[in-house]
Amino acid sequence: MNLPRIAIDAMGGDHGVRVMVEGAALARRRHDKFKFLLVGDETRIKAALESHPGMAGASEILHCDDVVAGDEKPSRAIRRAKTTSMGLAINAVKEGDCGAAVSAGNTGALMAMGKLALRTMPGIDRPALAGLLPTLKEHDVVMLDLGANTEADARNLVQYAIMGAAYSRIVTGFEKPRVRLLNIGTEDIKGTDSLRDAAAALQGAHLDLTFDGFIESDKINRGDVDVVVTDGFSGNIALKAIEGTARFVTDLLRTAFSSSLRSKFGFLVSRPATELLKHHLDPNNHNGGVFLGLNGLIVKSHGSANAQGVANAVAVTARMLETDITRRISADLAVLGEDALRESRNGAATGEGTEGK
């Protein structure tokens, strides 16, 4: 299968051109069907490509030396969409020149530019940022929204569940992913009206997912759920708490193993286990947040991602292009609409029967 080209914002992120090009090259070495539009400073990109001769025939360079700063306000970044590497990468998707865009740049600017250029899909009110988090099981858990929207009503949460399930089917292979809503407790009476209304809607929907009710934040990484749905405010807090805890555990082990000669010996004995832990908690191995709900694919790489992390983000992008995630989401939205229409007709029929009596 010939995949559409992937636009790479080569200027974004903490490490810029060198790592973005190296990551794309690493992804291509694993899957030689990938082709890229590298957007950024032509001189620097060509210099980076010298170390990856296999990329020459698979890449085109779109020169641009203007970059969105990491602390730049989205409103200002939007005004410079036609001159920045991020804006031009997104525009390539809008114009159909590329199937998706990958950037490690400013998240807020990426979301604002993407929404303005690509617009939301029919049936989706707000796009959401979905990411992969490690679990105790072999598969990752999909979580959304991770910060695209600070608030979400019941309708938004149901739409997030549909989009998250479609994404989960791609990355896990499960046909009916287990979906739960993040809440302060698992009891039906817990949480806001929006959460309870969303739970009721998902419980009765005929969708390709299994709705398992609510989940508390301490159970996200247990591996007993495939998709965790929440608003962007709570999701971003939960994500940073999980990432902070992972760093805390890693640093605590490092300190403990260096505290004495006996501890250092213990580290040598347990090194295979600690290396496995480090690998499992490394965000580069779960890299690639996806803005779901847009008329086009935009993937957000960690700003601090190394080449391995960028390669993983590219791989995630390619899998979504292969499986046409937009079509999958549209199909489930259509089912949800049919359910709503059916309930409306049933309600009208019941009302008519009551009046006749």
- Specify whether the CB–CB gap between 13 and 40 falls below 8 A: no
pLDDT band per the 50, 70, 90 thresholds, residue 354: very low
What tokens appear for 137 in the block? 């099981």
Q: Quick check: helix, strand or coil at residue 275?
A: helix
pLDDT bin (cut points 50, 70, 90) of residue 344 is very low
Class of the domain covering 125-290+324-357:
alpha beta
What percent of the chain has a predicted confidence (pLDDT) above 90? 34
Q: Which of these, 17, 6, 59, 61, lies nearest to 39 by C-alpha position?
A: 61
**Is pTM beyond 0.85 here?**
no
pLDDT in tens, 46-59: 999 988 888 888 89
User: Before 71, cis peptide (omega within 30)?
Assistant: no
Whether the pLDDT of residue 355 is over 50: the answer is: no
Lowest-confidence range among 45-49, 79-83, 276-280?
Answer: 276-280
Other C-beta atoms lying within 10 Å of the C-beta of residue 126: 18
CA dist 76 and 349 (Å) reads 53
Neighbours of 50 (CB within 10 A): 10
Give the residues across from 180 on adjacent strands. 228
Strand partners, 215: 182
Q: How far is the C-alpha of 317 from the C-alpha of 198, rounded, in Å?
A: 29
* Amino acid in the structure at residue 21: V
**pLDDT at 198 (0 to 100):** 93
What's the distance, Cα to Cα, between the start and end of the chain in Å? 62
User: Per residue in 310-328, is it b (16+ CB within 10 Å) or e — as a string?
Assistant: bbbbbbbbbbbbeeebbeb
For residue range 92-146, list pLDDT tens digits in order.
Answer: 999 999 999 999 888 888 989 999 999 998 888 989 999 888 888 878 899 998 8
Mean pLDDT of the chain: 83
How buried is 273 (Cβ within 10 angstroms: 0-12 exposed, 13-18 middle, 19+ buried)? exposed
Domain boundaries, the chain: 1-119+294-322, 125-290+324-357
Query: Which DSSP string corresponds to 240-301?
Result: HHHHHHHHHHHHHHHHHHTSSHHHHHHHHHHHHHHHHHHHHH-GGGG--EEEETBSSEEEEP
* Bridging pattern class, strands 100-103 and 297-300: parallel
Angstrom distance (rounded) from CA 337 to CA 42: 48
CA–CA distance, 304 with 282 (Å, rounded to integer)? 12
Q: What DSSP state is assigned to residue 226?
A: S
Question: If you search the block for the tokens 């590497």, which residue do you land on?
Answer: 85
**Closest to 292 in 3D by CA, of 329, 346, 263:** 329
Res. 7: pLDDT tops 90: yes
Collapsing DSSP states into helix, strand and coil, what is residue 61? strand
CA distance 237 to 227: 17
272-277: average pLDDT:
53
Q: What is the pLDDT of residue 196?
A: 93
pLDDT, residue 197, reads 92
Q: CB-based contacts of 348: which residues, under 8 Å, 6+ apart? A: none
Whole-angstrom Cα distance, residue 17 to residue 27?
15
Write out the two tokens for 47. Answer: 């210099």
Same fold flag, 1-119+294-322 and 125-290+324-357: yes
Confidence of residue 193 (pLDDT cuts 50, 70, 90): very high
Q: How far apart are CA 80 and CA 351, in angstroms?
A: 55
Q: Which CATH architecture has domain 1-119+294-322?
A: 3-Layer(aba) Sandwich (3.40)
31: helix, strand or coil: coil
Question: What are the DSSP E strand ranges found in 167-249?
Answer: 178-182, 210-215, 227-229
3 state SS of 291: strand
Do the bridges between strand 141-144 and strand 128-133 make them parallel or antiparallel, or are there none, so unpaired? Answer: antiparallel
Q: Which of these, 263, 291, 262, lies nearest to 86 by C-alpha position?
A: 291
